[in-house]
Structure 1
Amino acid sequence: MRPFIFLFIFMYSIGLDAQIVPAEITYSIGAGKYKRATELLLQQPNLYSNPVLLDKLGETYAYQEEWDKAIEIYKELTILVEDNPAYFFKYGGVLAKKAQSSNPFVGLTLLARIKSSFNKTLALDPYHIGAHWAMIDLYVSLPGIVGGSYNKAYELAQELKKISPIDSYLALGYVYEYDDEPAKAKTSYLEALALVKEYKEFERNQLNYQLGKVCSDYGIQLDTGIEFMTRYIENHSIKDGVPLEWAYFRMARLYRKKENKQNSLFWINKALEKRTGFKRAEEEKQIILALKG
């Protein structure tokens, strides 16, 4: 499975966090001190009877990519609170990340639980955008023999129109792209870009990345793409899923397609500084260096 689901795992938070979670824990998570946050959470006397604190513990494990521990926490949460779609969604999300980071056999053994968790999320909340995206990603990632289906992915993408038209067009473009329908993918992405003027700002920073990526990949509306990616970088947090080096990489491509060698080199160097051995960025840099000027 492609590393897409993590974009959405933590986009749904519990409204009582600020009232229930001690300030030092909230600060530690916000500062990226996840190990310290884990230690503090494990010291809480009512941890295993308090869903909000357990949810935070699951998040800290996930941020540290301790998938087995995160899975156990979210499994416990789905038992403790049987009607909370966010917990089922996060359970499915960490299972998916475990599958993605394991060998194919282990991944296959987790598939039924992953699908069940996302389907339960949608049963509890039919308007859950993240669960729609997660199921779409599963359907286009898996071979048909184990449950993959472009038809089901298209159906879910169409259903998103009732919830978020911009997500629907982005999802349709995503499915068309992997169904080897580049012209239809581009048309859908253009439909998504046409809707942008209806938004003063996006509730989810991920949309800035997705739209900026479209502009980067297809070489369209490059200045608009730069605006999207700038917003993504300025508002970035780990909950957004896509690491900053990928945003820097997309910015470099946007400027390269504008034939702006100086700015393109600036951003590709930032990507390489952020992540050593970033193969896509190394390849992009060679293309940039070949530009005139």
Structure 2
Amino acid sequence: MRNFLLFLFCPICLFAQLNTANIDAYFSKKQYKKAETELKTYLKSTPNDLLATEYLGDAYGYQKQWDAAIKIYKNLVDLKPKEANYQYKYGGVLGMKALENKFKAIGLISDIKTAFTTAAKLDKNHINVRWALVELYVQLPLLFGGSSTKALSYASELENLSKVDGYLAKGYVYEYDDEPELAEKYYKMAIKTGGSLVCFDKLTKFYENKNKPADAIKNIEAAHEKHQRNALYYQIGKVAAEYNVELQKGINCLNVYLNNYSAIDGVPVAWANYRLAQIYYHKQNKTEALKYINLALNELPKIEPFKTHKQKVLNM
């Protein structure tokens, strides 16, 4: 259920009174507290503005203030029980609270299911809630209503709305169900149909989880051939470093990544140097391993894996 947090908070209705551009700007800059403050001030004079209320719930959600977000969305659900997105968001924040508080999770399951299934019934085209239901039924233990059959039924509904989402969802269910051949089949179908980096990434992670680093690297190379992203060179180096395979290819790719690095690549330079340190450790080259782990630590001195790896290098 963690996967849908990024698209959970997205208001869908519009009212003229609220300056949505301001709030959207705060959200885009992750200034959620500023958004919260402005919205609370606005709602003091305009308490019945549902869009502002929804935005306030979003602001709480982004800050992981689940109880406050739950209260907001519950009020919206009570006011407009036939609004699918309110039901979806209410179920979503209940789900996030359940993930963080295992003691209360059991008592929340029924309400989460009700909110999500209600949203799905109200909006036959709501892709996000069907993804949420797939995740819910996959992750719930059988004792509390988990069901691969139900997860697959919602994956089929997704497939009717979006072939790519449906294939990814089925791959996800079969991976959890320990049916690797079917999981691989559907992840490959998603790549063939959509071909996005997300599709390639799902198959790469699947191969990594199944301890198939050579297949993972081959898939990343296919993704690079299609998308030409510098970040994919880092991904190849990462797999090489973590699984002790194709080490020279890993070194070459990480050097390309470092030579062409820009902020849009996402992964800091320090992590690429860390991966090089791992590779040189595998190659029993203490001098180079120490050189690169020191570079990593110079940039990000508090990262525990870096500190741990330096000790391993010193003990070679």
TM-score (normalizing by structure 2): 0.70
Please say if residues 208 and 229 of structure 1, whose CA atoms lie closer than 8 Å, have aligned partners that are also in contact. Answer: no
Task: Name the CA distance, whole Å, in 2 between partners of 1:141 and 1:151.
Answer: 13
Stretch moving more, 28-37 or 175-184: 28-37
Structure index of larger Rg? 2
Superposed counterparts of 1:273-284, under 5 Å: none
- 1:212 equivalent to 2:201? Answer yes
Superposed counterparts of 1:110-149, under 5 Å: 110-149=108-147
What is aligned with 2:47? 48
Residue 79 of structure 1 aligns with an amino acid whose one-letter code is D
TM-aligned CA deviation for residue 135 of structure 1? 0.7
- Give the root-mean-square deviation of aligned CA atoms: 3.6
- 1:91 equivalent to 2:83? Answer no
Superposed counterparts of 1:185-196, under 5 Å: 185-196=183-194
- 1:4 equivalent to 2:25? Answer no
Is the alpha carbon distance of 1:221 and 1:84 closer, same or farther for their aligned partners in structure 2, counting shifts above 3 Å?
Answer: same
State the SS of the aligned residue for 1:60: helix
Task: Name the CA distance, whole Å, in 2 between partners of 1:167 and 1:68.
Answer: 31
Task: Name the CA distance, whole Å, in 2 between partners of 1:110 and 1:83.
Answer: 21
Residue 80 of structure 1 aligns with an amino acid whose one-letter code is L
Please say if residues 220 and 235 of structure 2, whose CA atoms lie closer than 8 Å, have aligned partners that are also in contact. Answer: no
What is aligned with 2:106? 108
State the SS of the aligned residue for 1:43: helix
Task: Name the CA distance, whole Å, in 2 between partners of 1:72 and 1:85.
Answer: 17
What is aligned with 2:310? none
TM-aligned CA deviation for residue 289 of structure 1? 5.3
Stretch moving more, 39-48 or 179-188: 39-48
Task: Name the CA distance, whole Å, in 1 between partners of 2:34 and 2:12.
Answer: 21
What is aligned with 1:260? 250
Unaligned runs of 5+ in 2: 208-215, 259-264, 289-316
Task: Name the CA distance, whole Å, in 2 between partners of 1:251 and 1:19.
Answer: 50
Is the alpha carbon distance of 1:16 and 1:181 closer, same or farther for their aligned partners in structure 2, counting shifts above 3 Å?
Answer: same
Report % sequence identity. 32
What is aligned with 1:78? 77
Please say if residues 5 and 137 of structure 1, whose CA atoms lie closer than 8 Å, have aligned partners that are also in contact. Answer: no
TM-aligned CA deviation for residue 159 of structure 1? 1.9
Is the alpha carbon distance of 1:253 and 1:72 closer, same or farther for their aligned partners in structure 2, counting shifts above 3 Å?
Answer: same
- 1:27 equivalent to 2:25? Answer yes
Task: Name the CA distance, whole Å, in 2 between partners of 1:19 and 1:229.
Answer: 44
Instruction: List structure 1 runs of 4+ shifted beyond 6 angstroms.
Output: 254-258, 272-275, 282-285
TM-aligned CA deviation for residue 221 of structure 1? 3.0
TM-aligned CA deviation for residue 274 of structure 1? 9.3
Unaligned runs of 5+ in 1: 198-206, 234-246, 276-281
State the SS of the aligned residue for 2:47: helix
Is the alpha carbon distance of 1:181 and 1:84 closer, same or farther for their aligned partners in structure 2, counting shifts above 3 Å?
Answer: same
Please say if residues 70 and 93 of structure 2, whose CA atoms lie closer than 8 Å, have aligned partners that are also in contact. Answer: yes
Task: Name the CA distance, whole Å, in 2 between partners of 1:190 and 1:177.
Answer: 13
Task: Name the CA distance, whole Å, in 1 between partners of 2:238 and 2:252.
Answer: 12
What is aligned with 1:241? none
Please say if residues 98 and 105 of structure 2, whose CA atoms lie closer than 8 Å, have aligned partners that are also in contact. Answer: yes
Structure number having the greater helix percentage: 2
Residue 179 of structure 1 aligns with an amino acid whose one-letter code is D
State the SS of the aligned residue for 1:260: helix
Is the alpha carbon distance of 1:57 and 1:154 closer, same or farther for their aligned partners in structure 2, counting shifts above 3 Å?
Answer: same
State the SS of the aligned residue for 2:2: coil
Please say if residues 222 and 254 of structure 1, whose CA atoms lie closer than 8 Å, have aligned partners that are also in contact. Answer: no
Please say if residues 139 and 148 of structure 1, whose CA atoms lie closer than 8 Å, have aligned partners that are also in contact. Answer: yes
Please say if residues 85 and 119 of structure 2, whose CA atoms lie closer than 8 Å, have aligned partners that are also in contact. Answer: yes
Over residues 161-220 of structure 1, what are the superposed CA-to-partner deviations in whole Å (9 max), with x where a residue is unaligned? 2100111110000000000011110011011111026xxxxxxxxx64354232354315
Residue 175 of structure 1 aligns with an amino acid whose one-letter code is V
Residue 261 of structure 1 aligns with an amino acid whose one-letter code is I
Please say if residues 209 and 228 of structure 1, whose CA atoms lie closer than 8 Å, have aligned partners that are also in contact. Answer: no
Stretch moving more, 212-221 or 53-62: 212-221
Please say if residues 211 and 228 of structure 1, whose CA atoms lie closer than 8 Å, have aligned partners that are also in contact. Answer: no
State the SS of the aligned residue for 1:4: helix
TM-aligned CA deviation for residue 263 of structure 1? 4.0
Task: Name the CA distance, whole Å, in 2 between partners of 1:285 and 1:115.
Answer: 47
State the SS of the aligned residue for 2:8: coil
Give the count of matched residue pairs: 262
Residue 106 of structure 2 aligns with an amino acid whose one-letter code is L
